[in-house]
Chain A
Amino acid sequence: NAGVTQTPKFQVLKTGQSMTLQCAQDMNHNSMYWYRQDPGMGLRLIYYSASEGTTDKGEVPNGYNVSRLNKREFSLRLESAAPSQTSVYFCASGLGHTDTQYFGPGTRLTVL
């Protein structure tokens, strides 16, 4: 079991460029999540998907879109990157809302 995998590991973008962060899990989990982690701010939820076919906004959704492609995959898209989106992005998955979330290794994104 690979658990939760994320690609890419590192990315540098220029302001206004777009990109998609990929996440996949092989634990047959129903729910998947995207977080960003900034110094002093802790983990903040961007979007989540309670089950295949559904997505909902989290705490900081502005500037992002998501797609739950199938049960395994949940992608995060930045349509027009801004320097404020420089962060470390983590994907997580879990069985359901009362269960542990398991995290991927993260994507370190810098927007110049």
Chain B
Amino acid sequence: GESVGLHLPTLSVQEGDNSIINCAYSNSASDYFIWYKQESGKGPQFIIDIRSNMDKRQGQRVTVLLNKTVKHLSLQIAATQPGDSAVYFCAENSGGSNYKLTFGKGTLLTVNP
């Protein structure tokens, strides 16, 4: 899940396993959500997004689930690979004409070969 304070939550998985990374968002008016991957020393990279009129969206090896009732977002990575090791964080747009994204602090995923 998302971090509080200075230390990121971590998730350690074996290569080939499925990974699930969670995010709790705060604003019930948010209508657009994005998952980003950030490797060490690089900028955040877009993975997948979902709008509030959907509860599931699939990409290549990734699935995002949105539960608006409990304001929860999850990212599922199938057959996790060492190259998936990175910090993953969610972002929400609070709707209307708001241009601002609110970012979570991230979860560190480590994939063990």
Binding site for B on A (CB under 8 A): 4, 31, 33, 39-43, 45, 48, 50, 56, 58-59, 90, 96-106
Contacts and interface: CB of A to CB of B under 8 A. Distances in A.
A46 to B, nearest CB: 11
Interface of B: 3, 5-7, 31-32, 34, 36, 42-46, 49, 89, 91, 93, 97-101, 103-106
B44 A97 contact: no
Contact of A43 (B3, B44, B93): B44
Nearest to B4: A40
A40 B44 contact: no
Contacts of A96: 99
B43 to A, nearest CB: 4
B43 A50 contact: no
A101 B43 contact: no
Nearest to B41: A106
B79 to A, nearest CB: 25
B103 A97 contact: no
